[in-house]
Structure formats: C-alpha cells, structure tokens
C-alpha cells in the first residue's frame, strides 16, 4: 500500500502554501508521494515530479445540462453567458468542452502519474441547497459513461483510471448493480474505484459518531461484495455532517457561500477511531491518500499523526 497526501498548487481557500521541497517533506513523514489536484491545462511549478503518483483531474460540479444541451436550465446557474462559457473552459459546445478535457488529460499524462481520478457526480447551485435533484444516479452514471468514453482513447491502457464516489447524484456506491454496470460500460482496460470515505459517510445523515460511521461504511462495502475488489484507492478523511445537512435552510438563493456550504457538508477531518482499521483491512487499497484540509504542512503533520494512529 502506497501512502500519499493530497496536494494542490493553487493558493486559495484551504490549499497549502507552495512547499519548497516536497521530497524532503515526504521523506520526513515517510510518505510515498502525492496526489496532485490539477486545475489548469499547463505545466506545473512542482519540483517533485517523480513523486506525483496520482492526479485528481479537474471536475465540474454540474455539467449534465451542458452535456444534454439544456440551455434554459444552464442560464439559471450563471449571471451572464460569459460566466457560463468560462465555467466550461471557454467551451461553447460539447465538442469544444471535450477538446478542453482532452488537453487537460494530456497535461496530466505529461506528469506520468500511475493513476487518474475522475469525479462522478452532478449537483448545481440550486440543488446543492434545495437537495431537490433533477437527475438520478442512473442518469448521471449513464452520461458519465458517454462523456468518459468520448475521451478514453487518449489515455494509455497502462494508466489506471479511478472513479470517485460523491454523495450527490452519481456514483454513491450504495447500489451494487449500478456500480457494476457503470464500470462494465467504461471503455478503458485499467479502471477501478477511488473510495472517498468522507463522501460515503455524507450519504447518511443519521451518523452521530465515528463508530457508527465506520459500521455504516462497512455495511455498504459488504453489500458491494466482490465489487469491493474494484476499490483500488482510498481518499481517507472523516465527515460527520448530518446535523448540518438537517439544519440548513433548503432554499435558493441561500445566503451561505457555496464553498462554505460544501465544506460544512464535506468536512475532510482526520479519522480518529481505530474502528477504521476494519475498513482498511477489508479493502487493502493500493493507494491510501490522506485527503485532509490543511493550511500549511506543519498543520498537515499533526493531522497525519492523528489519522495514522487510527489505522496503524
């Protein structure tokens, strides 16, 4: 099992300040590498290219209306047409968007990662607050298959593609048949699932503590049966946000900024309870990524210590 940290080069929000020597940090913390969040389509100011084992591809929280040419629904999301166009990488058509995604993947592949991560979900600004979703899991999975298969040819057969679960409509992992049929339709020989533990916990608002949370996660994994073997990576963090999800006002516009809203639902806190071991033992992932919110690497070191104690 390779142990990684998530890393992103952009200085906003919870992203860490650029680190002068990632290699020295990884060595000091006894980590194997990083999973890089790649936002842009050009090369990176990173001095540790050989330590980039995984790349989390850019994602669009909502894209189904664009893919399905539902212009009326899209207009509701943006103040003006230019905002819409820049959201989709300056693409004005699905063909242009596919070209943008291909460029992005080429930029990722140039860094020679062992695996790529692809988010499978769709929720627009309204839906994120009203929780009144217009698309089902099955619809998001079907469109993700179409979208991915449209660009799959540019990914080498040896590059592992890991599809990540979220708690919005899409890949939630709570329905084995849907997961199996989704993976079966993907045109790439080397695929699997990136289990984001916190995202999985976000699918159940009744969870009060970590013991309940990991018991729930185990029950979902048991229902997946043999499909669990498809989980080749884990984004490790804890999220217990049922209280918040039950309490916020389900209306739009809502005064809470979207970024704050999402981070209150998806908390990325360190796991602390050793019941976590049962999950790691069951999955035995090839890649374990500590996916924590941190402002600097000193903070990350103390969070890592807490989380490692929970599964070692």
| Site residues, Zn ion (CB under 5 A) | 196, 235, 291
Q: In this complex, which beta carbon is closest to Zn ion, that of residue 8 or of residue 91?
A: 8
Whether the CA torsion 119, 124, 130, 136 is positive or negative: it is negative
Rounded to the nearest whole angstrom, what is the least distance from the CB of residue 98 to Zn ion in the complex? 24
Determine the Cα–Cα distance for residues 211 and 232; give it in Å rounded to an integer: 24
Determine the Cα–Cα distance for residues 214 and 173; give it in Å rounded to an integer: 15
Decide if 37 contacts 8 (C-beta within 8 A). Answer: yes
Using Cβ positions, the residue closest to Zn ion within the complex turns out to be 235
Rounded to the nearest whole angstrom, what is the least distance from the CB of residue 153 to Zn ion in the complex? 26
Rounded to the nearest whole angstrom, what is the least distance from the CB of residue 54 to Zn ion in the complex? 11
Q: In this complex, which beta carbon is closest to Zn ion, that of residue 145 or of residue 239?
A: 239
Determine the Cα–Cα distance for residues 173 and 180; give it in Å rounded to an integer: 10
- What the block records as the tokens of 303 is 């969070």
The length of the chain in residues reads 312
Report which of 218, 220, 98 is spatially closest to residue 171, judged by C-alpha positions: 220
Rounded to the nearest whole angstrom, what is the least distance from the CB of residue 281 to Zn ion in the complex? 21
Q: In this complex, which beta carbon is closest to Zn ion, that of residue 172 or of residue 235?
A: 235
Rounded to the nearest whole angstrom, what is the least distance from the CB of residue 151 to Zn ion in the complex? 21
Q: How far is CA 302 from CA 22, 72, 288, 298, 307, in A?
A: 17, 48, 18, 7, 9
């Amino acid at each position: 099992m390779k142990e990684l940290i998530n890393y992103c080069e952009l200085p906003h929000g919870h992203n860490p300040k650029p680190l002068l020597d990632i290699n020295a940090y990884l060595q000091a913390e006894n980590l194997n590498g990083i999973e890089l969040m790649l936002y842009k389509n050009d090369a990176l100011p990173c001095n540790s290219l050989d330590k980039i084992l995984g790349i989390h591809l850019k994602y669009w929280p909502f894209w189904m209306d664009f893919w399905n040419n539902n212009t009326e629904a899209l207009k509701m999301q943006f103040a003006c047409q230019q905002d819409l166009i820049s959201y989709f990488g300056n693409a004005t058509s699905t063909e242009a968007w596919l070209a943008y995604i291909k460029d992005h993947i080429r930029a990722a592949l140039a860094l020679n990662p062992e695996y790529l991560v692809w988010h499978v979900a769709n929720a627009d600004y309204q839906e994120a607050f009203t929780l009144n979703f217009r698309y089902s899991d099955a619809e998001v999975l079907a469109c993700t298959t179409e979208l991915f298969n449209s660009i799959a040819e540019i990914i080498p057969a040896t590059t592992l593609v890991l599809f990540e679960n979220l708690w919005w409509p899409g890949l939630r992992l709570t329905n084995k048949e849907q997961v199996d049929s989704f993976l079966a339709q993907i045109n790439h020989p080397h695929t699997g699932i990136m289990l984001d533990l916190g995202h999985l916990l976000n699918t159940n608002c009744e969870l009060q503590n970590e013991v309940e949370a990991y018991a729930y996660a185990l029950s979902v994994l048991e229902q997946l049966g043999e499909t669990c073997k498809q989980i080749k990576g884990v984004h490790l963090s804890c999220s217990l946000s049922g209280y918040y999800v039950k309490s916020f006002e389900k209306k739009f516009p809502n005064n809470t900024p979207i970024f704050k809203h999402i981070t209150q639902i998806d908390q990325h806190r360190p796991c602390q309870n050793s019941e976590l071991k049962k999950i790691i033992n069951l999955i035995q992932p090839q890649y374990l990524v500590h996916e924590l919110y941190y402002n600097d690497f000193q903070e990350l070191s103390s969070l890592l210590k807490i989380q490692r104690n929970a599964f070692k």
